[in-house]
Homo-oligomer: A and B are copies of this chain.
Amino acid sequence: MANITKKVSWSSRTDEFGQAGEGTPLLNGSEQPRPSRQLSGRGSLFQIGRLSTVDLEEEITSDEDSLRGRPKEIPHNEKLLSLKYESLDYDNIENQLFLEEERRMSYMGFRCLEISRWVICGLIGLLTGLIACFIDIGVEQLARIKFHVVKENIEKFTEVGGLSISLILWAVLNSAIVMMGAIIVAFFEPIAAGSGIPQIKCFLNGVKIPRVVRLKTLVVKVCGVICSVVGGLAVGKEGPMIHSGAVVAAGVSQGRSTSLKRDFKIFEYFRRDTEKRDFVSAGAAAGVSAAFGAPVGGVLFSLEEGASFWNQMLTWRIFFASMISTFTLNFFLSIYHNNPGDLSNPGLINFGRFEGDSVTYNLYEIPLFIAMGAIGGLLGALFNVLNYWLTIFRIRYVHRPCLQVMEAMLVAAVTATVSFTMIYFSNDCQPLGPDHTEEYPLQLFCADGEYNSMATTFFNLPERSVRSLFHNQPGTYNPLTLGLFTLTYFFLACWTYGLAVSAGVFIPSLLIGAAWGRLCGIMLATITSNGSIWADPGKYALIGAAAQLGGIVRMTLSLTVIMVEATGNVTYGLPIMLVLMTAKIVGDYFEEGLYDIHIKLQSVPFLHWEAPATSHWLMAREVMSSPVTCLNRIEKVGTIVDILSNTSTNHNGFPVVVQVSDNDEPAKLCGLILRSQLIVLLKHKVFVELARSRLTHRKLQLKDFRDAYPRFPPIQSIHVSQDERECMMDLTEFMNPTPYTVPQETSLPRVFKLFRALGLRHLVVVDDVNRVVGLVTRKDLARYHLGKHGLEELQLAQT
């Protein structure tokens, strides 16, 4: 039997419903003292505990302990699950109001909704494509201005020998640009930092990350990414596109902007988590599609990261959004490039076309590719480990915004200095091509008619450098240059990821991989005398790029398709797959993927695809949290206000129970109601006065709930008078009358499967006569994971 390490946090536990200071039952069946909060109005508030007797004395003691101990900040550590994250409701709340609305709707009504969904997906694609276009053009224009400023100055000062002035100018310029990007991120919207992919992964997984899909985040993200790229950091603009697409989707689908306080009164039907998630999937796919010109890859990315239940219609809509997105980008870029209608720029990055004889590979090359995959896995793991330590360091010491801005500026300055030094010391002069295809040729210390290839590599936008590494003629790059470049860029990229700037890790990874891959190709060509097959180092650059990227982010299926679509050639499909799988297997041996590391470091309760393999001996009874705060179907307003105001519990879902007969039998489960619904009910004062007729109030409609979505006011903002506290509230119409339930004996994998497949937020555990005995939430399931020594249980903590 697997060994389990119990680490129960006794600090305040404020999860989806759990009681503060509540423990987790030990696995051997004995009971921990189970603190339980006794609220006023005991008769109307059901504290349905476990069947075992619980010592009340001990309860209160440990309860007080936990109160005294709070807030007990626990040092940051990845063996924690934070309680600050709420879940999303991916399960429709099918209460009476909802069913009435659905039943009123005609078949044509559903058709119209379906058409609206397609229209929204079209809009998502269009806007995402336009944003990609804006970023691309913005970066290109600013980079051109910067290049000319720097070039002029370098040329001027190189003549007079004042190289240090050039260096300082360059470094200061870069730092200043990066500073702007870092300031808006660090001070205005910290969630816009990084690529946003971990956040979107969490969102699609069902975790509510605050502010992740707001308009402000989008604006900061877009401006931030332009600054980072123009500032010369080792970053790409592709990752942020995924986040941008998701924000666009979340905004467009709701038909209003809460930030701008504009409500267009459209798409009101879609104002709930279920629909929003679907659109956010489409937005993320559209983002991938615009970034890499890979619509199928985008769909697969969304599915790999987000989907729990594969729905054909949804997949098509996602596909449609991706298609429109890449098409929009392509079309507008073709106009920008004065060649309207020439659709040859499907994505922000274009790997160039692999054609002709160079695309073939042979059977005996496959072991070489696999070896390169293993190298990619190793280097990727190294990258991730270094970045992990760095992130830990940042969490501990660099958490103030001004420090973060300073770090970003420092990195920008160091990047500029390192680049400059390497350009200075490298003598890798290449003759200018006859057609001057190089866009940014820097002569520097080279003879006339030549350019410095190192300077080109550093100065180019990274996308262009990747393409050069893939396609330039053999002999364009000096092996030493490439080696040095790989080394420095590796550390620079690693340092850069996690800064308080908006930036992606795809392009730096590809660039590092392409560099060492090309190096491999050159070495192979040197070793073997017959150069017919080995002659093309570009092929090895592609494989290296795939290996490095796979080693860092550990995606396989979607990444293969993205690479295939970006290269515009399926011949390399098979080797790329092999390389990505090898990189993943090798990398996973040492360390998780970069995004997973960052998710873990944020202590997000992330649900994986399956329950841990050895968890069949855990049952719902042991996993669930109990006792549960239940409400009566007709409940006193005062009780509800007290429960909601209890900051130490902060429950989000409450089973609703009803007394079947007048005798002492315990109450049966008859529904489930959410905190957000109760808040709306309190706000609209849907009360019934005791022993009198119903108070006259407007009948509440779904619209009232939708208007409040998704930013429900806190309970503190709702004033309830003492008289009103004595009123009753009838929850019948508003609760979900058919919550999913499981018996106590259900095994963890079975509970997990139900919870994950249906995207639940609360799963009620009942006994054999339908009495509530516990509640399972995301944190109860995300707690268990397979560590090196078998099944482990993560701590739950307030972070």
- A residues within 8 Å of B by Cβ? 1-2, 92, 94, 99, 102-103, 105-107, 110, 114, 295-296, 299, 303-304, 307-313, 315-316, 319-320, 323, 326-327, 331, 340-344, 346, 355-356, 360-364, 556-557, 560-561, 564-565, 568-571, 573-574, 577-578, 581, 609-610, 613-614, 616-617, 660, 668-670, 737-738, 740-743, 745-747, 750, 753-754, 757-758, 766, 768-770, 786, 790
Closest to A303 in B: B310
Distance in angstroms from A288 CB to nearest chain B CB is 14
- 21 A-B residue pairings within 8 Å (CB atoms): A2-B107, A94-B750, A99-B747, A107-B786, A114-B613, A295-B574, A296-B296, A299-B557, A303-B310, A309-B310, A316-B557, A323-B574, A323-B578, A327-B574, A341-B364, A561-B561, A570-B570, A668-B768, A738-B747, A757-B757, A769-B769
Among B320, B564, B660, which residue has its beta carbon within 8 angstroms of that of A570? B564
Among B613, B754, B770, which residue has its beta carbon within 8 angstroms of that of A770? B770
Q: Which residues of B contact A571 (CB under 8 A)?
A: 568
* Contact A745:B750 (CB < 8 A) given known A557-B299, A565-B573, A768-B770: no
Among B309, B574, B613, B660, which residue has its beta carbon within 8 angstroms of that of A308? B309
Whether B758 and A106, one on each chain, are in contact in the complex, defined by CB atoms closer than 8 angstroms, is no
Among B110, B344, B614, B669, which residue has its beta carbon within 8 angstroms of that of A360? B344
Closest to A361 in B: B343
A1 to B102, CA, bound (A): 10
Q: Which residues of B contact A355 (CB under 8 A)?
A: 355-356
Whether B102 and A616, one on each chain, are in contact in the complex, defined by CB atoms closer than 8 angstroms, is yes
Q: Which residues of B contact A738 (CB under 8 A)?
A: 742-743, 745-747, 750
Distance in angstroms from A133 CB to nearest chain B CB is 16
Q: In terms of DSSP, what is the predominant structure of the interface of chain A?
A: mixed
* Contact A616:B103 (CB < 8 A) given known A310-B310, A343-B363: yes
Q: Which residues of B contact A609 (CB under 8 A)?
A: 311-313
Q: Which residues of B contact A669 (CB under 8 A)?
A: 768
The 6 A-B residue pairs with the shortest CB-CB distance in the complex, in nearest-first order: A102-B616, A110-B613, A341-B363, A738-B746, A103-B617, A757-B757
Q: Which residues of B contact A746 (CB under 8 A)?
A: 94, 738
Whether A769 and B578, one on each chain, are in contact in the complex, defined by CB atoms closer than 8 angstroms, is no
Among B307, B340, B610, which residue has its beta carbon within 8 angstroms of that of A363? B340
A299 to B556, CA, bound (A): 13
Q: Which residues of B contact A356 (CB under 8 A)?
A: 355
Closest to A744 in B: B738
A187 to B449, CA, bound (A): 80
Distance in angstroms from A302 CB to nearest chain B CB is 11
Whether A319 and B577, one on each chain, are in contact in the complex, defined by CB atoms closer than 8 angstroms, is yes
Distance in angstroms from A423 CB to nearest chain B CB is 36
Distance in angstroms from A170 CB to nearest chain B CB is 39
Among B313, B343, B614, B747, which residue has its beta carbon within 8 angstroms of that of A94? B747
Closest to A669 in B: B768
A564 to B568, CA, bound (A): 10
Closest to A791 in B: B107
A421 to B326, CA, bound (A): 49
Among B309, B327, B560, which residue has its beta carbon within 8 angstroms of that of A296? B560
Closest to A304 in B: B312
Q: Which residues of B contact A361 (CB under 8 A)?
A: 343
Distance in angstroms from A481 CB to nearest chain B CB is 32
Q: Which residues of B contact A565 (CB under 8 A)?
A: 570, 573
Q: Which residues of B contact A768 (CB under 8 A)?
A: 660, 668-670, 770
Whether A310 and B313, one on each chain, are in contact in the complex, defined by CB atoms closer than 8 angstroms, is no
Distance in angstroms from A608 CB to nearest chain B CB is 8
A560 to B295, CA, bound (A): 11
Whether A106 and B2, one on each chain, are in contact in the complex, defined by CB atoms closer than 8 angstroms, is yes
Whether B94 and A577, one on each chain, are in contact in the complex, defined by CB atoms closer than 8 angstroms, is no
Distance in angstroms from A610 CB to nearest chain B CB is 7
Closest to A743 in B: B738
Whether B320 and A581, one on each chain, are in contact in the complex, defined by CB atoms closer than 8 angstroms, is yes
Distance in angstroms from A323 CB to nearest chain B CB is 6
A225 to B669, CA, bound (A): 59
Among B570, B617, B737, B786, which residue has its beta carbon within 8 angstroms of that of A743? B737
A311 to B752, CA, bound (A): 13
Distance in angstroms from A354 CB to nearest chain B CB is 11
Q: Which residues of B contact A105 (CB under 8 A)?
A: 614
Q: Which residues of B contact A315 (CB under 8 A)?
A: 304, 557
Whether B107 and A790, one on each chain, are in contact in the complex, defined by CB atoms closer than 8 angstroms, is yes
Distance in angstroms from A630 CB to nearest chain B CB is 15
Q: Which residues of B contact A319 (CB under 8 A)?
A: 556-557, 577
Distance in angstroms from A618 CB to nearest chain B CB is 10
Q: Which residues of B contact A568 (CB under 8 A)?
A: 569-571
* Contact A310:B307 (CB < 8 A) given known A344-B360, A568-B571: yes
Q: Which residues of B contact A2 (CB under 8 A)?
A: 106-107
Closest to A103 in B: B617
Among B114, B573, B660, which residue has its beta carbon within 8 angstroms of that of A295? B573
A356 to B746, CA, bound (A): 60
Distance in angstroms from A798 CB to nearest chain B CB is 31
Whether A668 and B569, one on each chain, are in contact in the complex, defined by CB atoms closer than 8 angstroms, is no
* Contact A769:B296 (CB < 8 A) given known A106-B614, A107-B2, A323-B577: no
A746 to B95, CA, bound (A): 10
A312 to B609, CA, bound (A): 7
A578 to B295, CA, bound (A): 12
Q: Which residues of B contact A569 (CB under 8 A)?
A: 568-570
Distance in angstroms from A325 CB to nearest chain B CB is 11
A419 to B769, CA, bound (A): 73
Closest to A326 in B: B574
Whether A610 and B311, one on each chain, are in contact in the complex, defined by CB atoms closer than 8 angstroms, is yes
Interface core residue of A2, A343, A346, A581 (most chain B CB under 10 Å): A343
